[in-house]
Amino acid sequence: MSMLQVSLEDLIQHPGEETSNAIRARAAAVEPRSLRTYTSSLAVIAKSAGAYHWTPEGRKLADFTSGVLVANLGHNPTRWWRRLLEYQGIDNITTDQPFLAAPPLTAYNALTELEVRASERLVECMRSQPGGGRMEQVLWAASGSEAVQKALWAAMQRKPDCHHILATRYGFHGKKGLAGAVTGSEQDPERDPRVRFIDFPMQQCIDLEARRQPLDLTPFRQQLEQLAAELPGKICCLITEPYLGGGGSFHPQVEYLQLLEQFCREHDIVFILDEIQANFGRTGPLFAFTHYGIEPDVVCLGKGLGNGVPVSAAVGSAAAIGTMKYGAGSDTWSANPLASSAVLATLDEFEEQDAIGMGLELSDLIERSLLRLLDTGLIEHVRGEGCVWGIACRAIGGLSADQVANACVRACYLGDDNGHAIHLLGPLAGKVIRISPPLTMDLGEAEAYFNAMHGIFASLRQRIEAEAK
């Protein structure tokens, strides 16, 4: 079977990876496919540091995913780990200690000072940024979808007789409960009738050139006003992303999000910005609301918030998220001390090193490098900002765009003749490959790997065309 024709049903195996292949086979025996999103490489990772992973065989992979937009500071930064352990009160561990006197790993229905410090620091940090003036309280959670769900619960509670939610079409907010209900479009089965979808300017920002053009807001404004007239006083909130992440990396003109904010202000609707995939420097500044010139009522954070430790939050005004009763926003893991320590360590690092400046320099290199890929003939569109980009593959040689995208992911994993291998995720929306290395990746090393990616894509095109003959 050709490398380019591997079925999704087949067990993924790679030549020269005896240990990794055995681990993949073991996982297939005890875990369902639904546990992970399909990625044609299915890398087995033994350890990670900075912008790199290593397989059990010792093969080095440049991580162009940041662990799905999580490790913005890079994997396992030493100073960050030291800070986290210091917040946990752990300095020396000896084998004669059966238990450590340290904060518990969960503090359900109780308080730790770590939690309060993390809340205070996060609110202070967000309020110090342009557009963060409404940030007053923190609803902690453990995953992105949980933060979104809590934000929606709070917005619905603000006006108990007001239950309709507006969401931008083809967004991704999670797979659980209401977070899943506001994901995708009205075409999805079992759609929650309380959710109404609004258009997102996907065609108007399909590539960098299109995004640079002024956006005609008229049709979007008309659609919003039509919904306001259809549901008078019944819309509790509007939720959107700074850019469509899971929907294919579509980054709108700033005036689109500004229109949504204006509409919410005019109709007393809670404006929720889900920047779980965008916070902590991904779009450029520390928070995406600054980049887009808006002031949300609630901002959902996650991924880079803990730089790898599972933690998320809905942060907003007391009027927007402070109305629920005792227990309505609680769960076992929210604001646990380990997560709180990770947040504090992340805030420390962003305050004390210029990760944002490093990310902006890397952004210029990413843009130049990805535009070069257009001449390989495999890429149709390039779009993005900061350190989060998407390259849309095109059909070629009898292969669909989706098949080309998966072949690109696998070819980058296998690497070039000089040993440059790159870890990528399975394509977004079928055919879009996300490029999102850590903000802190060394520029010289990043350039070398982008040059390797260009060569890998060019060679892949030759193989596709040869197989098509």
Task: Write down the pLDDT at residue 438.
Answer: 98
What's the mean pLDDT when you consider all of the chain?
94
* pLDDT for the residue 6: 42
In this prediction, residue 3 carries a pLDDT of 43
> What angle do helix axes 337-352 and 113-127 make, rounded to 10 degrees?
40
Distance of alpha carbon 356 from alpha carbon 367, whole angstroms: 17
Mean pLDDT over residues 157-173, rounded?
94
Q: Domain map of the chain by residue range?
A: 12-76+355-468, 113-352
- Range 420-423 contact pairs with CB under 8 angstroms and sequence separation of 24 or more: 420/62, 420/448, 420/449, 420/452, 420/456, 421/59, 421/60, 421/61, 421/62, 422/61, 422/62, 422/64, 422/449, 422/452, 422/453, 422/456, 423/41, 423/43, 423/53, 423/61, 423/62, 423/63, 423/64, 423/65
pTM metric for this prediction: 0.95
pLDDT above 90 covers what percent of the chain?
A: 90
CATH of domain 113-352: 3.40.640.10
pLDDT surpasses 80 at 190: no
Q: Are strands 52-54 and 47-49 parallel, antiparallel or unpaired?
A: antiparallel
Q: Residue 95's pLDDT is what?
A: 67
Tell me, what's the pLDDT at 89? 87
Contacts of 410 (CB under 8 A, 6+ apart): 3, 6, 40, 41
- Return the structure tokens found at 387: 């350190």
Residue 348 has pLDDT above 50, yes or no: yes
Query: Strands 164-168, 195-198: parallel, antiparallel or unpaired by DSSP?
Result: parallel
If you classify domain 12-76+355-468 with CATH, what class do you get? Answer: alpha beta
* First and final C-alpha spacing in the chain: 16
Average pLDDT over residues 213-228: 98
Q: Looking at residues 64-76, what average pLDDT do you find? A: 97
What is the arithmetic mean of pLDDT over 440-457? 98
pLDDT per residue as tens digits for the range 242-299: 999 999 999 999 999 999 999 999 999 999 999 999 999 999 999 999 999 999 999 9
pLDDT of 7 above 70: no
pLDDT at residue 5 in the model: 46
164 contacts: CB under 8 Å, gap ≥ 6: 194, 195, 196, 231, 234, 235, 236
Among the residue ranges 126-130, 174-178, 375-379, 422-426, the one predicted with the least confidence is 174-178
Helices (H) and strands (E) in the chain, counts: 15, 14
**Average confidence (pLDDT) over 442-460:** 98
CB contact set of 46 (below 8 Å; sequence gap of 6+): 53, 54, 55, 56
Question: Mind listing the pLDDT tens digit for each residue in 299-315?
Answer: 999 999 999 999 999 99
Residue 377 has pLDDT above 80, yes or no: yes
H helix intervals, 7-88: 18-30, 66-69, 78-87
At residue 8, the pLDDT reads 42
